[in-house]
Amino acid sequence: MINPVYFALTPVKRLGGSGHYLSGGISEMDHAVAVDRKMTERYLLGELDPQASQEFEEHFFDCADCALDVRTAALFIEHSKSSLAKESEPVAAPSPVASKPGWLAWLRPAFAAPVMALLLALIGYQNLVIYPRLQQTLARPQVLPSAFLNIGGMGPGEQPISIAPEQSFLLLVRIPPDSYPRHTAELYNPAGKLEWLLTLLSSSTQEQWPLQVPGAKRESGSYSLVVRGLTDNGEAKEVGRVTFELQIQK
């Protein structure tokens, strides 16, 4: 059989011979007979005997439709072979990338058991040692370091208070009588940052308020207590301020 690609790329022309017959010349070959017998497919697949193949070749050189069918089918076959060859080429499989352990890796048995044991030991130490000590400290009477602060009046000047690290202390604050229904007391650290604010209800029978400053991590330096009067409309006006020297024992 002649290579179909040759016919796909060669201009159509008559090769000679006018008698177009199927095997043995039983019937004249025309386009309808070629289509009905699937001559194009059988020709390209090599299913025709030599005589039928030669007769079909002579026919499609004269029949533009059959020639087009042969060209199209031949190009399709060549393209399919090329595509299948590319697809059959071995492709290197990507090497597996080791995944990085996430933050949940500590939940694995190798890590979970030691972590849980450490947590249980910490909880036990807090419940058996730290909390009982705190309860005992709060339950017994204490003498707290203190200072007397006179707001808006004459005083002895800046008073020092000496405390242990993170120890609480007491401020005895005197606010002179005025017309404000409420006051606020604001404590500022040496950097001028507000540590806390407390609202006080004014009383005609009370001029001095004991303010306990809770223990916290503080630094030595000059602290300020600012007292403001609050009106019924919520407006605030400074009544006075006073400073004291906080000394942290080492």
Q: Residue 1 — very low, low, confident or very high, per pLDDT cuts 50/70/90?
A: very low
Give percent of the chain with pLDDT exceeding 90.
Answer: 24
pLDDT at 18: 38
Structure tokens, 118: 């450490």
Query: What whole-number distance in Å separates Cα of residue 8 and Cα of residue 11?
Result: 8
Above 90 in pLDDT, residue 190? yes
Q: Which CATH architecture does the domain made up of 146-248 adopt? A: Sandwich (2.60)
Q: Residue 25 — very low, low, confident or very high, per pLDDT cuts 50/70/90?
A: very low
pLDDT at 227: 94
Q: Kindly write down the DSSP assignment for every residue of the chain, as one continuous string.
A: ---HHHHHHSPP---S----BSGGGSSB--HHHHHHTTHHHHHHTT-S-HHHHHHHHHHHHH-HHHHHHHHHHHHHHHHHHHHHHHHTS--PPPPPPPPPP-GGGGGSHHHHHHHHHHHHHHHHHIIIIIHHHHHHHHHS-----EEEEETTS--SSSEEEEE-TT--EEEEEE----S-SEEEEEEE-TTS-EEEEEEEE-BTTB-EEEEEEPP----SEEEEEEEEEE-TTS-EEEEEEEEEEEEE--
- CB contact set of 1 (below 8 Å; sequence gap of 6+): 43, 46, 48, 53
Q: Which residue has the higher pLDDT, 57 or 19?
A: 57
Buried b (16+ CB within 10 A) or exposed e, 7-31: bbeeebeeeeeeebebeeeeeebeb
Q: Which residue has the higher pLDDT, 52 or 16?
A: 52
Chain-wide mean pLDDT for the chain?
76
| Sequence ranges of the chain with CATH classification 2.60.40.2550 | 146-248
Q: Which residue has the higher pLDDT, 17 or 107?
A: 107
When pLDDT is averaged across residues 195-213 and rounded to a whole number, the result is 87
183 phi/psi in degrees, rounded to 5: -135, 160
- CB contact set of 169 (below 8 Å; sequence gap of 6+): 144, 145, 146, 147, 161, 163, 212, 213, 246
Query: What whole-number distance in Å separates Cα of residue 123 and Cα of residue 118?
Result: 9
pLDDT at 4: 47
Q: Residue 2 — very low, low, confident or very high, per pLDDT cuts 50/70/90?
A: very low
Q: Which residues, in sequence order, are bridge partners of residue 212?
A: 170
Structure tokens, 137: 């400290």
pLDDT at 245: 94
When pLDDT is averaged across residues 182-191 and rounded to a whole number, the result is 94
Q: Residue 24 — very low, low, confident or very high, per pLDDT cuts 50/70/90?
A: very low
Above 80 in pLDDT, residue 29? no
